[in-house]
Amino acid sequence: MKIGIPRALLYYRYHTLWETFFEELGVETVISPPTNKGILDSGSIYAIDESCLPMKIFLGHVEWLIGRCDMILLPRIASLGRQGSACMRYQAAYDVARNAFRGRQIKLLDYNVDLRKNGGQIETFLSLGRAVGKKRAQSLHAYLAARQADKAVGTAELLHQQDLLRGDRCRILVVGHPYNVYDPYVGGPVLDCLRALNTVPIIADIVDRREALERSANISSTLPWAFNRQLVGAIDIYRRYVDGIVLMSTFPCGPDSLVNEIVVRRVRELPVLNLLIDGQEGSAGLETRLESFVDIIHFKREEDITLA
Amino acid sequence: MPETKVSFPHLGSYCVPIEYLFTRGVGVDYVTPPPITRRTLEIGSRYSPDTVCAPFKYNLGNYIETIEAGANTLVQTGGVCRLGYYGELHEQILRDLGYKVRFVNMARASYSNPASFYSEFLSINPDLSLKRVAAVLTLVLKMVEHIDAFESYMRNNVGFECEEGSFDRLHQDFLASLSAVESHKELSAISKLYMRRLKELPINRPKNPLRVGIIGEYYTIMEPFSNHFMEKSLARMGIAVDRWINISNTLLHNPSKKVITHIKDYAKYDMGATAMFSIDKALEFAKKHYDGIIHVKSFGCTPEIDAMTVLQNISNDYKIPILYFSFDSQTSETGIQTRLEAFYDMIVMRKEDRK
Ligand code: SF4
Ligand code: SF4
């Protein structure tokens, strides 16, 4: 049996967990390739026009997997309990894919996280194990191994990022959902461009998540979405170490439409760039915007130095 | 401290029970926001982030206009989806604009702790009597049900009124008389009276009229201005209109558990906010052989966009036409009318063919 995993949406947050889990169980997986124009184009055919870019990309990845595996892992997240709720889109993704590809004979593998209704993440993995015909004890063991691996990766990333906070190069905090920041087709050009402009991108997603959740209240106290809370908390954690903030969103994003506005209005000491990516714009427009943003930062840094 | 003058954004006719709740229950003055106009939407949009959904912009427009009309205490409810975060940003924007008002954001209270709601209300009136609020609240909820029942009948029949404007006039009289009721008994007597008068209004209803069901996102479906008075336009075309979404059906008698079993062929999970209801009702209208369905939402509305993928399948399976509207602050009136007329022509033709 081969499980297909769409390299999109929640993949970028949970891939170590998923991949290790299946590996431990000896279940073969196939992961769709990094997003390219073909994937986006095919996703756009199946998605409602008004959907956000990540949803279009997601459907493109699911489409790519059809015929290349026996089952497709389709994550759905409705609630992360006390950490907060999820964007409605993660809540709907399973059924959207099911309806969009009706008639294409795909078998979907449920991965449903709803902490208001089910137990914790562990329950979700146990039922995932059940669905691929594994015993409870096996799944449990695989889950624990996956947790360990995920933690190790997280720690390594965090250590690496902490290194980047030293020295006096110009640092820019990039705030965005992991599936935007890490997708080579979406956030990739932004990170490349920032590096080419001789700045160091700091990724808000790489952060001590627990601390970030708590500190988000310093900026916003009623934020409902867990992932946005983490990003906002990361701003509070990193704001002293960076020279500017890029808010990277895709169009039209429900949560970000409100959260970015709060950030712009409340984080006043740093230049903030609201970068809306629609997947259409050529790289020229992007480069110009980032260039002038970095110019502003340099200008401000020089001013600060003169004042000091 | 100046006297408290509370206000809450518009939502269809519900400003009547809301005013009742605040004046009679909480015991404070209430300022009804001026009726929504183009200006409301314009100022709301001017100070809102571009890509936020339209209800946010309307609410903000209401707040600003009601401050101009004398309100000094504004309330936001919180709720599912983006609504849960509206309040904090509304408050921030109003502060940044320099308005010195009190902002009561129910999203700060938590549903797992009902007492926290009480403390939000206390911040509006420290002398609040819990007993009175509770008593008035039950009356207000009943009032909401009566209004919903009245409007359901009206929506279905106004297209056939013999005397133009007769339904609207009675509707206005009914709403006006509600603010004077003193007890459950009076409320039910008044409602009965008006319901009877409503049903006595002469109509010229064909035996088998065109029937259209409206589904969609909460605010846009319930606030007539925001859907460009869609129901009125349909009535003028001589269509019997049905919609299920209102406060009684969704909040007071929430059927989510049942709904998820109705729609299991199409959706396994709750897709958020009103998405499940849109799917459920589309299915029901389809099975009852309605002539068409109209889906309304504000531009970018996440859960309803996701529901559309399912609606397209329902439309194919049951061969029922669905017309989709997505409203933002730029939507052109003529565009809407043209699409409505084309839709009308199509369903008329289909009906002819089926004869
Ligand atoms: S958070 Fe925004 S970009 Fe992500 S799925 Fe939701 S609407 Fe789309
Ligand atoms: S349901 Fe739609 S309109 Fe309402 S808050 Fe959510 S996205 Fe906005």
Condensed to tens digits (0 to 9), the pLDDT of residues B112-148 reads 677 777 888 888 898 888 889 889 999 999 999 999 9
Look at chain B and report how many structural domains it folds into.
Answer: 3
Contacts of B151 (CB under 8 A, 6+ apart): B12, B13, B171, B246
Provide ipTM, 2 decimals.
0.94
Last residue of a domain, one of B154, B170, B205: B205
Residues of A in contact with B327 (CB under 8 A): none
Spell out the alpha helix ranges (H) of chain A.
11-25, 37-46, 53-65, 88-100, 121-131, 136-164, 178-181, 188-196, 209-215, 226-238, 254-266, 283-307
- Segment B183-209, tens digit of pLDDT: 999 999 999 999 999 999 999 999 999
Residues of B in contact with A261 (CB under 8 A): 49, 52, 89, 93
B296 membership: H or E segment, kind and range: strand B292-298
Which of B 37-56 lie inside 8 A of A, CB atoms?
49, 51-53, 56
Judgement on whether residues B224 and B352 belong to the same structural domain of the protein: yes
Judgement on whether residues B244 and B318 belong to the same structural domain of the protein: yes
So what's the pLDDT on residue A64? 98
Does ligand 1 come within 6 angstroms of the Cβ of A260?
no
Cβ contact A72:A62 at 8 Å: yes
Judgement on whether residues B35 and B121 belong to the same structural domain of the protein: yes
**Distance in angstroms (rounded) separating the CA atoms of residues B117 and A114:** 25
Tally of CB atoms within 10 A around B202? 9
Does residue A245 or residue A304 have the better pLDDT? Answer: A245
Judgement on whether residues B323 and B238 belong to the same structural domain of the protein: yes
Judgement on whether residues B344 and B286 belong to the same structural domain of the protein: yes
- Tell me the mean pLDDT in the region B264-272: 93
CB B271 to CB A223 under 8 A?
no
Judgement on whether residues B170 and B267 belong to the same structural domain of the protein: no
Establish whether the linkage from the previous residue to A252 is cis, with ω within 30° of 0: yes
Does residue A301 or residue B193 have the better pLDDT? Answer: B193
Judgement on whether residues B347 and B274 belong to the same structural domain of the protein: yes
Question: Residue B78 has which token pair?
Answer: 């919180």
Provide the CATH topology of domain A165-307. Answer: Rossmann fold (3.40.50)
* Domain hosting residue B307, numbered range: 208-355
Instruction: Choose the closest CB to B302 out of A95, A112, A254.
Output: A254
Nearest Cα to A170, choosing from A202, A203, A204, A200? A200
For B266, nearest residue in chain A (alpha carbons): A99
DSSP string, A217-278: GGT-S---BHHHHHHHHHHHHHTTT-SEEEEEEETTPHHHHHHHHHHHHH--SS-EEEEEE-
**Dihedral sign of CA atoms B1, B89, B8, B249 in order:** negative
CB B84 to CB A261 under 8 A?
no
Using 50, 70 and 90 to split pLDDT, how confident is the model at A282? low
- Indicate the burial class of A188 (C-beta count within 10 angstroms; 0-12, 13-18, 19 or more): middle
Using 50, 70 and 90 to split pLDDT, how confident is the model at B225? very high
Judgement on whether residues B71 and B103 belong to the same structural domain of the protein: yes
Using 50, 70 and 90 to split pLDDT, how confident is the model at B252? confident
CB A258 to CB B96 under 8 A?
no
CB A95 to CB B84 under 8 A?
no
Provide the CATH topology of domain A2-152. Answer: Rossmann fold (3.40.50)
So what's the pLDDT on residue A308? 66
Judgement on whether residues B242 and B348 belong to the same structural domain of the protein: yes
CA distances for B67 relative to A295, B37, B73, B90, angstroms: 41, 16, 9, 13
Judgement on whether residues B183 and B259 belong to the same structural domain of the protein: no
Please indicate if any CB of chain B lies within 8 Å of the CB of A67.
Answer: no
User: ∠ CA(A143), CA(A148), CA(A150), 5° rounding?
Assistant: 90
- For chain A, the domains span 2-152, 165-307
- Indicate the burial class of A109 (C-beta count within 10 angstroms; 0-12, 13-18, 19 or more): middle
Spell out the alpha helix ranges (H) of chain B.
15-20, 38-46, 54-68, 83-96, 115-124, 130-157, 166-178, 184-200, 218-222, 230-236, 247, 256-262, 275-287, 302-318, 333-354
**Distance in angstroms (rounded) separating the CA atoms of residues A166 and A175:** 19
Cβ contact B325:B227 at 8 Å: yes
Work out the percent of chain A whose per-residue pLDDT is above 90: 84
- Collapsing DSSP states into helix, strand and coil, what is residue A79? strand
- Tell me the mean pLDDT in the region A288-299: 95
How many angstroms separate the first and last alpha carbons of chain B? 70
pTM for the full model?
0.95
Judgement on whether residues B199 and B217 belong to the same structural domain of the protein: no
Q: Left if phi > 0, otherwise alpha if psi is -120 to 50, otherwise beta: which for A67?
A: left
A165-307 shares the fold of A2-152? yes
**Dihedral sign of CA atoms A19, A23, A25, A29 in order:** positive
Quote the ligand 2 centre to B297 CA distance (angstroms).
8
